[in-house]
Structure 1
Amino acid sequence: MPETSTPAPTPAPSIAAQVDEFNTGFTAQIGPRLTAVFDEEQSDLNAAGVPEGAVKAGDSLPEAALVDASGASSSLGEAIGPNGAVIVFYRGSWCPYCNLTLKHYQEQLLPVLRERGVDLIAISPQTPEASELAVVNGGLEFTVLTDPGNVLVRRLGILTEPVAAARAAHTDLGFDVADSNADHTGDIPFPTVLVVTADGLVTFADVHVDYTTRTEVDTIVAALPA
């Protein structure tokens, strides 16, 4: 019988286009005061740029103890398969931009990676219970892990935290980052995508200091090994 392959995913709007659509409704919902707070935070993050020492192509990933969505112990080495992986660092299931992106990767990126035997791994500092929420709400079929205390994120130089005004705005919206994080702090990663080999060599790194922007699928696919 002829070989069959996974059907190509149906084309979808880019992440940037989906973010633009989301922002239109979100800013109308939260009003000008809170919108100004988040706009200023994003502007300051862009002005500061990617931190010196952030992970880059050519680096080797450190080993790290992680936890899966069921609460079982795991590790970065165990998660990366023999054909390497795409690793996505995200802020948490409380972040609408993260949820939008992970769902987009599920629909548009995962089928391509499966064709090539490359794993897709998402990592955040949130509790396993919050990770499970991200899995269920996004219908995610790839590995979702917790980096308790952002140990791995610190080693990769991509640690950040919402500014005080943004934390206060979050409170106005009914949540706090620390309530979702495994270590009960506000520490979170800059949204980051890495392409890594089976032995943990980083061949592509894209760090986004502005959390409303993310790495598009076409960019990730272009960075995969031939």
Structure 2
Amino acid sequence: MKLQDKLDAMRDDFENGRFPLVPTSDQLETMQRATQSLIDSGQADDALKAGDTAPEFTLEDADGNTVSSRALLARGPLVATFYRGVWCPYCNYDLQALEEVRSEIEARGASLVAISPQTPANSRKSQRDNKLGFPILSDARASVADDFGLRFALPDDLIEVYQQFGNDLPKINDDPAWVLPMPARYVIGTDGVIAYAEVNPDYTRRPDPTELLPVLDSLRARAQA
């Protein structure tokens, strides 16, 4: 089953009361309105895209090790996925789908990392729960996400809904600001130029990870030419 099919099924279960957490109609309306507002803002169109130069970053993984994009790119292309956090079931499905193709990504000489504003402790939980073999990097205050044009502030009514759900983002992220990245997937070539970008302000929509493979094939063919 394709990733988006799984996400669509989960969204249908959530919106129709077949999920452990059953939202009220008012909560659903608030969430849908916030997503539409982010779409209408056009912020996704202003985020970094293919052909742009990716900002360099240095972040800590779940074990406190420093990981730099420069060091990763010295070895080959970099696949970087930005996601909301361990608390988001859509993000967890996304990470699991990436893990399923991780060996194919690595076979093409690329590295794979996930980037989230959550604390390293929550990244460890995310890695453990989703059985991931690639690192999750902690992007404090979503500063790297901001460099990519992805960071946005949650509206007050959505913050209230998240609090009702028990999603305490200031605690999860160790940051009093209620900010998140729009989910995004990037392939960065060894020259630092973005070869593939997919940004979606609707967090229930994610590209299938298999889309990354022909991009990586193209980069490898270009390097060997």
Superposition TM-score, scaled by structure 2 size: 0.87
1:49 matched to 2:42? The reply is yes
Question: Equivalent of 2:14, from 1, 22, 26?
Answer: 26
Q: Distance in 2 between matches of 1:53 and 1:20?
A: 26
Aligned residue for 2:177, secondary structure, equals coil
Indicate the residue corresponding to 1:179 in structure 2: 171
Shift of 1:62: 2.0
Aligned residue for 1:30, secondary structure, equals coil
Q: Distance in 2 between matches of 1:79 and 1:127?
A: 22
Shift of 1:95: 1.1
Alignment of 1:125-204 (within 5 A): 125-204=117-196
What percent identity do the matched residue pairs reach? 29
Q: Distance in 1 between matches of 2:74 and 2:12?
A: 39
What are the Cα deviations for residues 67-114 of structure 1, in whole angstroms up to 9, with x where unaligned? Answer: 11012333222344522111101111111111110011111x212212
> Retained in 2: the 8 A contact 1:208–1:214?
yes
More displaced stretch, 202-211 vs 61-70: 61-70
What letter is aligned with 2:86?
Answer: S
> Residues 53 and 186 of structure 1: is their aligned pair in 2 closer, same or farther, counting only changes over 3 Å?
same
Q: Distance in 2 between matches of 1:52 and 1:31?
A: 32
What letter is aligned with 1:171?
Answer: Q
Superposition TM-score, scaled by structure 1 size: 0.87
> Retained in 2: the 8 A contact 1:15–1:101?
yes
1:219 matched to 2:207? The reply is no
> Retained in 2: the 8 A contact 1:91–1:125?
yes
What letter is aligned with 1:124?
Answer: S
What are the Cα deviations for residues 110-148 of structure 1, in whole angstroms up to 9, with x where unaligned? Answer: 122122121111011111011111100100001211111
> Residues 221 and 15 of structure 1: is their aligned pair in 2 closer, same or farther, counting only changes over 3 Å?
same
Gaps of 5+ in 1: 1-12
Shift of 1:203: 0.8
Gaps of 5+ in 2: 219-225
> Retained in 1: the 8 A contact 2:62–2:137?
yes
Q: Distance in 1 between matches of 2:145 and 2:28?
A: 28
> Retained in 2: the 8 A contact 1:195–1:202?
yes
What letter is aligned with 2:114?
Answer: A
What letter is aligned with 2:109?
Answer: G
1:64 matched to 2:52? The reply is no
> Retained in 1: the 8 A contact 2:4–2:207?
no
What are the Cα deviations for residues 179-226 of structure 1, in whole angstroms up to 9, with x where unaligned? Answer: 111433211111110001124221111111111111212322232242
